[in-house]
Structures are given as C-alpha cells and as structure tokens.
Amino acid sequence: MTKKLTFSKAINEAITLAMNKDNDVILIGEDVAGGAEVDHLQDQEAWGGVMGVTQGIVEKFGRNRVIDTPIAEAGYIGASVTAAATGLRPIAELMFNDFIGSCLDEVMNQGAKLRYMFGGKARVPLTIRTMHGAGYRAAAQHSQSLYALFTHIPGLKVVVPSTPYDAKGLLLSSIFDDDPVIFFEDKTLYTMKGEVDEGFYTIPIGKADIKRKGKDLTIVAIGKQVHTALKAANQLSKKGYEAEIVDPRSLSPLDEDTILDSVAKTGRLIIVDEAYPRCNVATDISAMVVDKGFDYLDAPIKMITAPHSPVPFSPSLEDLYLPNPEKIMAAFAEMIGDNSIASK
C-alpha cells in the first residue's frame, strides 16, 4: 500500500515510526518540539521545527523524548554523540547545515572518530538531520550544500535523499544504523509530493537508485538535482538521446558499482552537484570513475555545479547560481559535438 505524502511528512512519519519502535530514539534540536514550558501552549500547537517538519511529534512522545535545546550547536550535537554512545539513539536536528560551523568539532573530531580512537569499543548510533540547498532566497549562510565536508570525513555516513519515498526509507535506515549518519534535507523539496509506502520500511544506505534508464549518457545527480536531471533527460529524449539518471542517495558510502555499471553502458558521464565546485562530490565521483572506469569513457566527464562563490541573495543571481536543465543540455551538446541540442 502506498499513499501520497510530501517530503516533509515522509520525514515526520519516519521519525514517528522510529520513536514508536524504540524507546531509545529521541529527537533533539532547536524548537524541534517548539515552545518548551510555555504554559498555555498545547503540544499540538507547538512549532515542530522552524519549517514544521517535526510538528505533532512532541504531542505523541512527550518532552522527555522530544527535546528543545538552547541555541548551542556544539553543546547539543556534542551531547548527542555521547547520548548515543551511552545508550540512546538520538535524532539531532542541525537546523541548517550551514550551522556546522558552530559544531564541526563535535561531528568531525568526536562523533566521527570516537569508535576508531576507542579501538572499536564504542558505537555512536546518531543521526543528524539537517537542511541544505539553494533556491529559497535564504542567502549565503542558509543555502549551502555542505555534504562534501562530511563526505571527506571518515567515520560519518552521508545521506541525501531526493524523493519522499527515499527520504522515509533512508531516514529509518539512518536512525537504526549504528554509525553516525548525516541526513540532508533540501528545504525546497519539503513541499514536494510523492508515493510513499505505508508503515515501516528501510532503504539500505550505500545503494544508489536508477531514477531513469537510458543508454546514451549517465547523469549522476545529487538530492534535488535529480529533478533537474530528469527535466534535462526528458528534453534530451525528444532529441533522441536517452539519459540514465543515477541517484547515489548516499554519498558515504558511495555505491561505486552502480555508477560504474551505468558509465560502462553509456560511455558518457555528467555529474550534477549544486555544491561549490572545488573538492566537491562531483569531483569525487569523477575521480573515482577515472580511476576505476577509465576505459569506459568516450568523452571527458562534465560537472555541473555552483560557481566558486557564496550563494547570492538576489533571486536573479541565485537562479543563475544553480544548475538547471539548460546547463546539462549544453554540457551534453559539447560532449557529443551536437550544437542543436544546446540551442533547443
């Protein structure tokens, strides 16, 4: 049985299911309940996070398990690391991934390394949910897609879903994973609707999904950019080219085989990653394919990314900043030397 749910509700449902299943699961973050200890406030009216994603959860599970924190990211993310190591299974919300600047130590030097430094004697079953992505007119400090920073760091898993279905199944996997997982939610996807299975299901972390089959070109696209790629693929199809779209879904670990198999078939690769261009996931995937699948390649790998610049506020600039189908088409046109594609 499936039903239509928004991306936001799919996440809410995953958290609810996880908290029902296991009393050790707690939800912690800034206003994740919303309005703690306000006398007149009924729990069902509580904010449920700045975007309302966790609305209603405090009503079901109470304030012992749904915990509003002060604005102290180092404090509560660090606390979540050891809460995880001492018996809980926290879902910590880092409101915007940009705020990692206030708690990178707790993620990079504590959470990610604890198990290794302790010689394998600890587990850190922590999930950090965090918003990312440009397009919301939220400017330079609230629009970044910083998953490359986390992918760089050993000891973390990094998950970036692109659909409500994937979001629910991957969040459930993340919560019940015994390693620290950073779970990225694109703020511009929250209102997107999609089919989602009823009840509890998981999607394995580390398994890519082919969002569209094709034989002429592989597009690996991350998060929201999967939809940009799908749009480009539809247009390419009209021109007679079928693109295969691989959604890695998890960046660390990365499903190298699915990507390589696709490139082996198509011989061409475009990677769409809205993050900053240097040392990003696009370069990571490109380098991996060159290392392990060099002979499959009929053409240079092209990367469609943001420019090397902060995210501008002005809507007109932000629109230029992001990848779009036209940029993908132009890259493909260049790749195969067919200008008629780019000009539409």
Ligand X SMILES: Cc1ncc(C[n+]2csc(CCOP(=O)(O)OP(=O)(O)O)c2C)c(N)n1
Residues numbered 217 to 236 that lie near a copy of itself (CB under 8 A) are none
Specify the 3-state DSSP secondary structure of 26: strand
Neighbouring CB atoms inside 10 A of 315's CB total 10
287 is a contact residue toward a copy of itself (CB under 8 A): yes
Peptide bond into 253 cis (omega under 30): yes
Q: What residues contact residue 293 under an 8 Å CB cut-off, 6+ apart?
A: 260, 263, 264
Q: How far out from the chain centre does Cα 103 lie? A: 19
142 is catalytic: yes
Binding residue (CB under 8 A) for other proteins from 118, 298, 300, 344: 118
| Binding-site partner at residue 260 among other proteins, a copy of itself, ligand X, none, CB < 5 to 8 Å by type | none
Binding residue (CB under 6 A) for ligand X from 102, 202, 237, 324: 102
In the bound state with ligand X, the residue whose beta carbon lies nearer, of 31 and 209, is 31
The rounded distance, in Å, linking the Cα atoms of 237 and 315 is 30
Distances (CA, A) of 23 to 62, 67, 327: 12, 14, 47
13 is a contact residue toward other proteins (CB under 8 A): no
Binding residue (CB under 8 A) for a copy of itself from 105, 178, 195, 319: 105
Binding residue (CB under 8 A) for other proteins from 3, 116, 234, 279: 116
The rounded distance, in Å, linking the Cα atoms of 113 and 111 is 6
Q: What residues contact residue 241 under an 8 Å CB cut-off, 6+ apart?
A: 214, 216, 217, 332, 336, 341
Q: CB of residue 116 vs a copy of itself: minimum separation in angstroms?
A: 5
Q: Convert residues 160-189 into a mask of x (bound to other proteins by CB under 8 A) and - (unbound).
A: -----------------xxx----------
- Please list every residue from 124 through 183 that binds a copy of itself, using CB under 8 A: 139-141, 148-149, 151-155
Binding residue (CB under 8 A) for a copy of itself from 16, 56, 102, 136: 102
Instruction: Find the catalytic residue in 132, 142, 152, 227.
Output: 142
- 51 burial level (CB within 10 Å; 0-12, 13-18, 19+): middle
Using left for φ > 0, alpha for ψ between -120 and 50, and beta otherwise, residue 119 falls in: left
Q: Convert residues 307-326 into a mask of x (bound to a copy of itself by CB under 8 A) and - (unbound).
A: xxxx-x--------------
Residues annotated as catalytic are 142
Q: Which residues are near ligand X by CB under 6 A? A: 30, 71, 73, 95, 99, 102
